[in-house]
Amino acid sequence: MCDSWGVIFGRTMAESILIDQALSKAEKYELLLVQIRALIGTDTNQVSVLANCSAALHQGLGHFWTGFYLTQETGLSLGPFQGPVACMRIENGRGVCGTSLAEKRTIIVPDVALFPGHIACSAESKSEIVVPVFNREKDVVAVLDIDSKFEASFDEVDQRYLEQFCSWLGEQIF
């Protein structure tokens, strides 16, 4: 049995990500990233870490879809995520995720309907941020994709904290 900060298999585990919605966006990220690092600890299992990271980000930020696409030979393959079903494969250079992979940079899309070649996994998605995850050799090994039901949900604050998070994640498990 485990209470909210109980111990399972000798490790401290959180059952909930606790974020005060009255905080500023930057304060929410700072609190969330501390909780994610505590949740993950020193675990290096890619599937487990990516699954809990996508769940924690999704729960903490409350967006429509939160997850990872993993780099494969010709593009990206769906990894752990939270939200409705998603596209399983994305070619390098296609859509927001494939463009982020090809250009090795974060992409913020205030209105996905205006992004050339946007891949609509869901018509409910209105804005998106995609952040590449680099390994120690500086190769893109995954992308973090977060979608919102609202236009213009993402800005430079999201970019700064999510890039910081993805940098930590890349060093942690790749």
In this prediction, residues 100-109 reach a mean pLDDT of 98
For residue 18, pLDDT beyond 90? no
Structural domain includes residue 2 = no
d(CA 21, CA 19): 6
Q: Tell me, what CATH number does 78's domain have? A: 3.30.450.40
How many CB atoms are closer than 10 A to CB 10? Answer: 5
In this prediction, residues 137-155 reach a mean pLDDT of 97
Structural domain includes residue 71 = yes
Of 141, 73, 136, 129, whose CA–CA distance to 104 is shortest? Answer: 141
Q: Using the CB atoms, write b or e for 143-152: b if 16+ within 10 Å.
A: bbbbbbeeee
| Segments forming the whole domain that contains residue 85 | 7-173
pLDDT of residue 14: 55
Query: What's the structural domain count of the chain?
Result: 1
pTM (2 d.p.)? 0.90
Structural domain includes residue 1 = no
How many CB atoms are closer than 10 A to CB 162? Answer: 23
Of residues 159 and 7, the one with the higher pLDDT is 159
For residue 120, pLDDT beyond 50? yes
Structural domain includes residue 128 = yes
Cα atoms in the Cβ-side hemisphere of radius 13 Å centred on 152: 0
pLDDT of residue 155: 98
